[in-house]
């Protein structure tokens, strides 16, 4: 490798015995073949690998948790920066701050912070990489109470295209700090994140109020009113799923298709009870399951359906409200899906909506509903059918969407969405920052923001 600094991490080549394991991504649909994999252990390793790739004219892709799909279309021979060895998490419980390596998974972050009864809002699948999730925005069960992941980011260590290692925060490189909070991996490789933490758990209360598929449209319309009345300490979402074989689900309803209201209490149990009682009275559910659950278990609740090797195709958009027509269309689309595929809807209000839109580069809306359309399977023979279901569901909902864009972390491909609609009103500023920090567009294996000319 061409470099001015020694490399402490491991280099894996196609001829090495561990190559197939090292190149594997979380998504079983991706079968890419990098020409060189650098398993980085330090920011200097990242800088060295970037210098080598630029000297040799190699495309550069970055992997944290491996959930990204941008390498799927790359020609063989690119350089894969694997940050997974950089997964250490350090927690300062007194200051309520965590420093997290750029290769950590949500499970690493949640485990370390929950040891002190603390947490940062993050995703809903624990094998997700902290890096990609944060750079795109990051939302999950805790977001309604404490905001998005980027709203809790205090600083980041970033390796730039020219090899410099800088700290981005409100006081240092503030434009870069603004851009990496939602602008994706366009501006550099983040090797450390510093987060603000909040007291959470260790136990939270989870309720599932489940309505059968025949009344799916009725349930989805009701969600609009029910969520509007939730107390501030309550979060959760709506899921068009098959009921899981969980202990709190009656055995006779395991795998039944329908609409699940997932209601999570992070504060006063009485406030949780208000939200749950209102849902039960309004919905007359097929069943209502209730259980106390460790916060880390809540964060892992969807892991089984999203195990490494899952064959995933995802689309996303935003809805301002769940109208009768939206509910009807969504109910019809979810009635014909496979058992593993699902549509998840998260209400954006509360702490998410409290942050001004221009405070970060996040391109989505901060009010209404975020919608994740997830086609999941394990059989390659069903890939095309599952992809088509996700595309057609997205196309059906798009006329009702807030704007033409979607959440950058829910894009398996940019088919039907361009970067200008992913970042409405912010693209010019992002392009100018890109020109300052990556003028040659070295980091373009992503939802790419071209540098301003």
**Tens of pLDDT along 179-218?**
999 999 999 999 999 999 999 989 999 999 999 999 999 9
Give the helix/strand (H/E) hosting 259. strand 257-265
Return d(Cα 133, Cα 64) in angstroms, integer.
9
Task: Work out the pLDDT band at 1, boundaries 50, 70, 90.
Answer: very low
User: pTM of the full predicted structure?
Assistant: 0.94
Q: What does the block give as tokens for 38? A: 């650098």
Q: What is the pLDDT of residues 355-386, one digit of tens each?
A: 999 999 999 889 999 999 999 989 999 999 99
Question: Quick one: pLDDT band at residue 275, thresholds 50, 70, 90?
Answer: very high
Question: What count of other Cβ atoms lies within 10 Å of the Cβ of residue 277?
Answer: 11
Q: What is the pLDDT of residue 2?
A: 39
Q: Where are the alpha helices (DSSP H) in 162-268?
A: 174-180, 216-228
Helix (H) or strand (E) holding 113: helix 106-114
The pLDDT-based confidence of 414 (bands split at 50, 70, 90) is: low
**Close Cβ partners of 254 (under 8 Å, ≥ 6 residues apart):** 243, 244, 245
DSSP 243: P
Is 420's pLDDT higher than 90?
A: no
> Span 262-267, mean pLDDT?
95
Q: What is the mean pLDDT of residues 343-348?
A: 94
**What tokens does 380 get?**
């390659």
Radius of gyration of the chain (CA): 21
Which tokens hold the place of 67?
């959930």
Closest CA to 407 of 419, 422, 395, 392: 422
**What is the average pLDDT across 15-35?**
95
When pLDDT is cut at 50, 70 and 90, the band that residue 5 belongs to is low
Q: Which of 30-34, 337-341, 345-349 has the lowest mean pLDDT?
A: 337-341
Q: How would you class 176 by CB atoms within 10 Å of its CB: exposed for 0-12, middle for 13-18, buried for 19 or more?
A: buried
Helices (H), 300-426: 324-334, 350-353, 383-397, 419-422
Question: Hey, which residues does 89 pair with through a beta bridge?
Answer: 100
Determine phi and psi for 311, rounding to 5 degrees: -100, 105
Report the pLDDT value the prediction gives residue 416, as an integer from 0 to 100. Answer: 66
Is it true that 10-82 and 89-199 share their CATH fold? no
Q: Which residues pair with 79 in a beta bridge?
A: 36, 60
* pLDDT for the residue numbered 337: 84
Class of domain 10-82: alpha beta
Average pLDDT, rounded, for the chain: 93
pLDDT at 130 over 60: yes
Q: In this predicted model, what pLDDT tens digit does every residue of 250-264 receive, in sequence order?
A: 999 999 999 999 999
pLDDT for residue 3 is more than 60: no
pLDDT tens digits for 64-83? 999 888 888 899 999 999 99
The pLDDT of residue 404: 59
In angstroms, the CA 221 to CA 219 distance is 5
Q: Assess if CATH 3.30.465.10 describes domain 89-199.
A: yes
DSSP 12-63: E-TTSTTHHHHH--SSTT-----SEEEE--SHHHHHHHHHHHHHHT--EEEE
How would you classify residue 387: left for phi > 0, otherwise alpha for psi between -120 and 50, otherwise beta? alpha
Q: Is 364 helix (H, G, I), strand (E, B) or coil?
A: coil
Q: Domain limits of the chain?
A: 10-82, 89-199
Instruction: Give, for 344, the enclosing helix (H) or strand (E).
Output: strand 342-348
């Amino acid at each position: 490798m061409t470099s001015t600094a020694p490399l402490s991490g491991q280099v894996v080549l196609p001829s090495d015995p561990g190559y197939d394991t090292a190149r594997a991504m979380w998504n079983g649909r991706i079968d890419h073949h990098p020409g060189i994999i650098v398993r980085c252990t330090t920011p200097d390793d990242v800088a060295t690998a970037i210098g080598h790739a630029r000297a040799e004219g190699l495309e550069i892709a970055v992997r944290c948790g491996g959930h990204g799909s941008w390498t799927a279309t790359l020609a063989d021979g690119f350089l894969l920066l694997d940050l997974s060895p950089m997964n250490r998490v350090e927690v300062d419980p007194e200051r309520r701050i965590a420093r997290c390596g750029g290769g950590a998974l949500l499970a690493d972050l949640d485990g370390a912070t929950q040891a002190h009864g603390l947490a940062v809002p993050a995703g809903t699948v624990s094998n997700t990489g902290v890096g990609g999730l944060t750079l795109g925005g990051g939302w999950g069960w805790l977001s309604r109470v404490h905001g998005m992941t980027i709203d809790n980011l205090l600083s980041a260590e970033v390796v730039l295209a020219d090899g410099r290692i800088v700290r981005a925060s409100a006081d240092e490189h503030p434009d870069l700090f603004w851009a990496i909070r939602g602008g994706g991996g366009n501006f550099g490789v983040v090797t450390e994140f510093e987060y603000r933490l909040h007291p959470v758990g260790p136990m939270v209360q989870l309720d599932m109020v489940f309505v059968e598929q025949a009344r799916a449209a009725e349930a989805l319309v009701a969600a609009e009113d029910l969520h509007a009345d939730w107390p501030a300490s309550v979060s959760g979402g709506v899921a068009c799923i098959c009921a899981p074989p969980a202990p709190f689900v009656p055995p006779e309803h395991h795998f039944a298709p329908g609409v699940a209201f997932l209601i999570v209490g992070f504060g006063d149990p009485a406030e949780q009870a208000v939200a749950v009682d209102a849902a039960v009275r309004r919905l007359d559910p097929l069943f209502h399951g209730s259980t106390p659950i460790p916060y880390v278990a809540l964060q892992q609740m969807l892991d089984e359906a999203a195990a490494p090797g899952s064959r995933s195709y995802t689309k996303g958009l935003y809805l301002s409200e769940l109208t009768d027509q939206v509910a009807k269309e969504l109910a019809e689309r979810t009635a014909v899906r496979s058992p593993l595929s699902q549509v998840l809807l998260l209400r954006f209000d509360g702490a998410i909506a409290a942050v001004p839109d221009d405070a970060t580069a996040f391109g989505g809306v901060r009010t209404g509903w975020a919608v994740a359309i997830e086609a999941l399977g394990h059989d390659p023979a069903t890939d095309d059918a599952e992809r088509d279901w996700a595309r057609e569901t997205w196309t059906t909902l798009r006329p009702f969407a807030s704007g033409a864009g979607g959440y950058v972390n829910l894009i398996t491909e940019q088919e039907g969405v361009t970067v200008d609609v992913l970042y409405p009103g912010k693209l010019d500023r992002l392009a100018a920052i890109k020109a300052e920090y990556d003028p040659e567009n070295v980091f373009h294996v992503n939802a790419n923001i071209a540098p301003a000319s």
